[in-house]
A and B are shown apart, each in its own frame.
Chain A
Amino acid sequence: MKRVFPILAVLTAALLSYALYGALVAAPTEQTMGDVQRIFYYHVPSAWTAFILFFINFFASVAYLIWRNTKADIVALVTAEVGVIFCTVVLVTGPIWARPVWGIWWTWDLRLTLTLVLWLIYVSYLVLRRFSSSGQTPLLAAVLAVFGALDVPLVYFSIWFFRTQHPQPVVGGGGSIDPRMLHVLLINWAAFSCFAALVCWSRYRLEVLRREVDETLALEALLEPRSSQSRISQTGSAG
């Protein structure tokens, strides 16, 4: 297991570099927006990756609720954390793209707003995990994840209708896409997916180790009084 990781890391780095080259050089320049449009190759794959991670989180949470499987809980935690990271990337690159193109930092664009709401929901998820006492954290977090997942279609429809009543600019350009651009987009998506998978794997191993250490520390605390008591009885008999 451990030997595979560095190889995969190198391969992913290579894929990311190739994808970067595609985004900055190989892809054709967009007509209306110019080179700034190339942000698209980082903005969209990050959004897709984040949504996939949150999707996995939903299934892991449900699995935990049904089977109380610890592995499912760790998968939920990991995908939530890495998902928030990718979400943050979307929310940062979006305004940076919108500013030169439309002159505004923010717009209630469907993808951007949905990403913001998901970001908020999952940050609250992570805060809950950090602030609740360790016994029932996995259970409460799983319940919250289910609530969040139920919310998503409602968020989608509310934003969609809001935009029909209050027209807003669309970040990311709708309509058909040049096949060469699509090619670069998909390569970047593949690269970031591999990257996300590796990060999740690392975080997973870290969490497993963390919990093992915590358990050991807890066990040690339980055993500690006994060893100090035997020391006391020894000095008593000696003195």
Chain B
Amino acid sequence: MSTVASLTRATLAKDLRLEWRSKDAINSMLFFSLLVVVIFSFSFDPTAEESRQIAGGLVWVAFLFAAVVALNQTWAREMRNQVLDAYRVSPAPPNALFLAKAAGNFIFVSVLQALMTPLFIVFYNLRALGPTYQLPIVAALGTWALVVNGTFFAAMSLRTRSREIMLPLLLFPISIPAILAMVEATGAILTGEFSAKFWIVLLAAYDVVFTMASLFLFGFVLQAE
């Protein structure tokens, strides 16, 4: 058990260090996220009352696009340097690699969200009428839901034609209950009309189910390459 944890930490630290040094991916993704927010603000220009109701959907669709861009390059570095082959022959448990990648993506997408959210608040004059403390919970659970499946499907897409389109193609249908939960929960918190509790529980259940499934089945996918 400790091997998995230490391996995960080591791999994650390596990824973060590499990313921080080059900053190539994060810069382009930041700009992409900003563009998404601006385009959405031009396209949907609601009143304050309406904006609280639809902001949940808008924000999460924008996050989804940003997440897909981030997820598509998850394994790019490993592919370039045949790291996956090395990992396959090593006795290291594949779960550690997966967890590290997923955690890295989670941090990555969370940073993007942290930067996009103030922009959304500004453009849409958002103010939460419900319990605000629930928002970070929804954000964390929702982001993990997208990232855990996204990292897994990114690995599955590695040996397919049209790799970049394969990832969202596989990810979106499976993520539908999670996306519905995220959007509804955010809307509930912003409007204050409903309780977001059910959606938060659903998101938590989704996260547990798919984290376990990914950990259990990642070995197969790694061997398949």
In the bound complex, do residue B177 and residue A143 qualify as a contact, i.e. CB atoms below 8 Å apart? no
Among B161, B172, B178, B221, the residue within 8 A (CB) of A131 is B161
Among B161, B162, B181, B221, the residue within 8 A (CB) of A158 is B181
Give B137-175 as 1s and 0s: 1 = Cβ < 8 Å from A's Cβ atoms.
000000000000100000010011110001001101110
**Is B176 interfacial (CB 8 A cutoff)?**
yes
What is the CB-to-nearest-CB distance from B68 to chain A, in angstroms, rounded to a whole number? 14
**Is A9 interfacial (CB 8 A cutoff)?**
no
Q: Which residues of B contact A150 (CB under 8 A)?
A: 209-210, 213
Among B170, B173, B220, the residue within 8 A (CB) of A139 is B220
Interface of A is mostly: helix
**Is A21 interfacial (CB 8 A cutoff)?**
no
**Is B202 interfacial (CB 8 A cutoff)?**
yes
Interface residues of A in 108-145 (CB under 8 A from B): 117, 120-121, 123-124, 127-128, 131-133, 135-136, 139-140, 143-144
Q: Which residues of B contact A234 (CB under 8 A)?
A: none
Please, how many residues of chain A have a CB less than 8 angstroms from a CB on the other chain? 30
In the bound complex, do residue B217 and residue A128 qualify as a contact, i.e. CB atoms below 8 Å apart? no
**Is B206 interfacial (CB 8 A cutoff)?**
yes
Can you list 28 A-B contacts (CB < 8 A)? A65-B220, A117-B176, A120-B173, A121-B174, A124-B169, A128-B160, A128-B170, A131-B161, A136-B224, A136-B225, A139-B220, A140-B156, A143-B220, A146-B213, A147-B174, A147-B210, A147-B217, A148-B174, A150-B210, A150-B213, A154-B178, A154-B202, A154-B205, A154-B206, A154-B209, A158-B176, A159-B180, A165-B194
A-contacting residues of B (Cβ < 8 Å)? 149, 156, 159-162, 166, 169-170, 172-174, 176-178, 180-181, 184, 194, 198-199, 202, 205-206, 209-210, 213, 217, 220-221, 224-225
B-contacting residues of A (Cβ < 8 Å)? 65, 117, 120-121, 123-124, 127-128, 131-133, 135-136, 139-140, 143-144, 146-148, 150-151, 154-155, 157-159, 161-162, 165
